[in-house]
Amino acid sequence: MRAVRPHRRPGRAARHRQPPAASSRCDAGHATRHHRRQPRAGGEDCRAAGRRRRADRGRGREAARHRLPGVSVRDVGADARRPRCRFPCRTVGRAALCTAAVTVACAAALGCGRAGPPPPRPHPIIIVDVDTLRADHLGCYGYQRPTSPHIDAFAREAVFFGWAFSQAPNTPPSQTSILTGLYPSTHGMVFDEDRVPDEVVTLAEALAGHGFTTAGFHDGGYMREVFGIGQGFATYDNNHGQGLKAIGPKAESWLREHADENFLLLIHTYDAHTPYAPPPPFDTIFMDGVPAPTPGFEPTTKQMNEVRLSKFTNHPLTLPPNDVAYAMALYDGEIRYVDEWFGGFWKVVCDLGLDRRATVVFLSDHGEEFQEHGSVMHEKLYATVTHIPFMIRLPGGRLARRVDAVVESVDLMPTLLELAGAPLPAGIQGSSLVPFLTGRPAAGPHAAFSESPFFGRSRAVAFGDHHLLLNMKTGATELYDVRNDPLEQDDIAASKPPVLEIMAGLLHSWEEEVASSTVDRSGEPAPLDEETLEQLRQLGYVQ
């Protein structure tokens, strides 16, 4: 396997685009170390570039690469003409960047065209990352309980991705994928003592090298600096066990100090994680009509973990329906608590004028299961866990729209770097979503890939209307029409063999690609002191 060492190779030049003018409303409120990258020069002459583009157009008229003889991709879904390839040599975003670099280089060398547009003016970036927040428990994703009025208002001013998927069902790999643009099999942050390798360039490092001030305020656990995920943050503040009541004021104070700068601000919280214990009045806000729980039952991390871990024994435990309903009502109360905080935070953003100047991202790393598939918490790859909220609000709320194409969380880093005019680190596996943000045509439908070390190394792919789950140990497969069956109760693998073959082909090709892109993980494991271990115990990650 070849090692990906981004710091030894120059990144590719980002496409130069002028950001949209800042003008819109603000109605969603209340009522270390830095790596610098140099752009890679174009390496083709004009004639070679022309031949390549003509060949690309010819290939575009052919059948999709993974299409089987005699099988129409209409069988897969409405948006499934040709899957977007997700790797450095073939990603849509990076291919577009390479084409732009070649065109500009040819024009400069031969005097055969006008100068390209000026580089985009960097602007602040704010990321609100709510751990363990499943998409279908937000109003903007169709939930019936009023859990998220402020988030819903924000979504109306954002590019709203209706079908975004996480790379993993648990925090270490999923958060690392968000902040590196790499799949878990590549970055290697999977188990308790894994650490993000120094060779991996994080979003914070890439933006710091581009002149951004960087700060992260997080809720501890696997976000702690000891795991390497804080690389590149000049300020990286651990608030484990305190949640937004501590993180919020610190982040807002930092924001006021740095409002006139170009910055990256990350806000991460476990307030939607177990234990399901929202503060009053959010602990009772959704209890009307909910049956009383079994005497002695409280959805603490310890009790929920006992149910989860029992699935690996000969005596699996199952919560009765009244306990599931009780736990879910408290979980929804946690979401409403986060939403209330978000409304206040958004008011601060608006008061500082940053709603007109900043790109603001709202997302989660994974969701949560309430026995829809026999378990609780998060370790399986069903959509209840891997379908995540994902929205990007451009300065001024311009170009707000709903995007129903399948995307994935590894796409965030290349998207933000392109918007900032920063070069992409070599080896990045996500693809820029800027075409969706600006209304440009995307280069074909997307596929999203997820992986889990649990249950015999599970893998999943979402493409078009469908979601395939594969157990690598047993070979068992499950196929769902996830758009029409979002809780994935009707396995259609037996009745849709052509779709199953196409989806399995996508997954097999992806497996081959990531197998050749793994970074060197021969370094020392993360040193886990007692404080870190205690934080992980409280979150249910270690016993």
- The pLDDT tens digits for 156-213 are 999 999 999 999 998 889 999 999 999 999 988 876 677 788 889 999 999 999 999 9
Segment 141-153 mean pLDDT: 98
Tell whether the model's pLDDT for residue 307 goes beyond 80. Answer: no
Please spell the DSSP secondary structure of 302-341, one letter per residue.
Answer: HHHHHHHHHTTSSS-----HHHHHHHHHHHHHHHHHHHHH
Residue 174 lies in a domain: yes
Residue 421 lies in a domain: yes
| Comparison of pLDDT for 281 and 192, the residue scoring more | 281
Bridge-based pairing state of the strands 235-238 and 477-481 = unpaired
Instruction: Identify the pLDDT of residue 54.
Output: 41
Residue 33 lies in a domain: no
Number of domains the chain is built from: 1
- The pLDDT tens digits for 99-138 are 333 332 333 333 333 344 455 566 899 999 999 999 999 9
Buried b (16+ CB within 10 A) or exposed e, 132-151: bbbbebbbbbebebebbbbb
Residue 215 lies in a domain: yes
Range of the domain at 380: 119-447
| Comparison of pLDDT for 501 and 221, the residue scoring more | 501
CATH of the domain at 304: 3.40.720.10
Residue 354 lies in a domain: yes
Residue 79 lies in a domain: no
Q: Return d(Cα 52, Cα 203) in angstroms, integer.
A: 31
- The pLDDT tens digits for 518-540 are 665 544 554 545 554 454 455 44
| Comparison of pLDDT for 92 and 163, the residue scoring more | 163
Count of beta carbons in the 10 Å neighbourhood of residue 219: 27
Residue 516 lies in a domain: no
Query: Using CA of residue 385, residue 238, residue 6, residue 411, what is the dihedral sign?
Result: positive
- The pLDDT tens digits for 309-368 are 767 777 788 888 999 999 999 999 999 999 999 999 999 999 999 999 999 999 999 999
- Long-range own/partner contacts, residues 62-65 (CB < 8 A, 24 or more apart): 65/509
Beta-bridged to residue 42, according to DSSP, are: none
Q: Return d(Cα 52, Cα 57) in angstroms, integer.
A: 9
What 3-state class would DSSP assign to 514?
A: helix
Query: Quick one: which of 406, 407, 402, 404 has its CA closest to 430?
Result: 407
Tell whether the model's pLDDT for residue 57 goes beyond 50. Answer: no
Least confident of 146-150, 284-288, 426-430: 426-430
Residue 494 lies in a domain: no
Q: Give helix 321-351 / helix 149-156 axis angle, nearest 10°.
A: 50
Query: Quick one: which of 404, 406, 405, 420 has its CA closest to 361?
Result: 420
| Comparison of pLDDT for 240 and 358, the residue scoring more | 358
Bridge-based pairing state of the strands 213-218 and 263-269 = parallel
The pTM (predicted TM-score) of the whole model is: 0.76
Segment 248-261 mean pLDDT: 97
Beta-bridged to residue 393, according to DSSP, are: 360
Here the tokens at position 297 are 């039952």
Whether residue 97 contacts residue 419, with contact meaning beta carbons closer than 8 Å, is answered with no
| Helix, strand, coil distribution of the chain in percent, nearest 5 | 35, 15, 50
- The pLDDT tens digits for 450-490 are 999 776 679 999 999 999 999 988 899 999 999 999 999 99
